[in-house]
Amino acid sequence: MSSCDLLIRGGHLATMVANGDPYGVVRDGAIVIDSGRISWVGPEAELPPAVARTPAASWNARGRWVTPGLVDCHTHLVFGGNRASEFEARLGGLTYEEIARAGGGILSTVSATRAASDDDLLETGRARLSAMCSHGVTTAEIKSGYGLELSTELRMLRVARELEAALPVTVQTSLLGAHTLPPEFKKDRDGYVDLVCTEMIPMAASEGLADAVDAFCERIAFTPEEVGRVFEAAEAHGLPVRLHADQLSDLGGAALAARHGARSADHLEHASEDGVRAMADAGTVAVLLPGAFHFLGGGRRPPVASMRASGVEVAVASDLNPGTSPVVAPLVVLNLACTLFGLTPEQALAGMTRVAARALGLEDEIGTLEVGKKADLAVWDVREPAELSYWLGANPCVRTVHGGILGTERVG
């Protein structure tokens, strides 16, 4: 090792490697980056002398903390309009389910999204994703699900792909055609599930627009049997699956996700002990979404203690969406994961780095600071990593590195 593309030195590293040390900390550390990947990481005192003398570029972190770039593994950030009026309605006493059954909820966003142009979706989506990137996110998952017709579902996925090209972020896409029943299929549930299975999934797969298929298993959405059909179609086209499971009631979504080898089951407020055990056996990640729990006024908490006892890995995500989690600040989500769900700051950060990467099937690429992994980093002006969950509303992110490219330093 005689040189490198980029040397980051003078900082403390929260590598998030699960080695028994809190945060996988390396104080007074350095990171060597070559061809967009980490080629060396460790104490700066052990830095190979030739690298220290001849880096192509070098940056001094000046005592700040460096972590893996944040991974937001569950968002719905491409959509038209907003649902502020429904927020008022809920404060006035209506429930989420009552609003949805009256034609609001997801369907109101479907109407706005269908009417929006590609340019509108791209512009508003870029604003939201840019805000997330400024808060340390270097990988984000983006779902469709507000089209509920072939053309708009595919348009949403194309816009998500365009966002990746426009910003310093990796985007993973999920086809969520089975989000809720569109009004034109109100009396033909089987017909709509057929559309998802025989047109949406094959088209998204053939055009390379979807990295996974998701579904919403709930009384106001789709039954376990219908979701099973969707997942079988996804599997037939080589696409992994994920599931919105047991958010409002226990329909056995956690166990359903596990039976299909889903990468993750998300929400899980009403997941049963049997469902949690099934997830553990299948290696399905639990994705907690405290923003939605908070925004909907709380209620039953996910069985986090059971997940821990069973060995289910726990990720944390924003669930950025217009109806139940309009949040673009990932550190707020870390705080809520701690204050509402009882995670420690270390567990919350692992949930938005190492474990979130696993929920996306990217654990070999991102999520920890290790040799061979993609050089996606975030630099924070904090004294200890716990501050990332502690400060509510602050943004201590100084800059990010995405694929080895050093982003602009944030001042003030």
Q: Which CATH superfamily is domain 6-68+369-406 in?
A: Urease, subunit C, domain 1 (2.30.40.10)
DSSP 98: H
What is the C-alpha end-to-end distance of the chain, expressed in Å?
Answer: 36
Q: Supply the pTM of this predicted model.
A: 0.96
Residue 338 has which token pair? Answer: 């701690």
Q: Please give the pLDDT value at position 3.
A: 65
Residue type, 61: A
Q: Which CATH superfamily is domain 70-359 in?
A: Metal-dependent hydrolases (3.20.20.140)
Burial, 92: exposed, middle or buried (Cβ in 10 Å; 0-12, 13-18, 19+)? exposed
130-165 confidence digits (pLDDT tens) = 999 999 999 999 999 999 999 999 999 999 999 999
13-53 confidence digits (pLDDT tens) = 999 999 888 999 999 999 999 999 999 999 999 998 888 77
Neighbour tally for 391: CB within 10 Å: 15
Provide CB contacts within 8 A for 331, sequence distance 6+. 135, 136, 388, 389, 391, 394, 395
How do the domains of the chain map onto residue ranges?
6-68+369-406, 70-359
Q: Alpha carbon 374 to chain centroid distance?
A: 18
Residues in the chain: 412
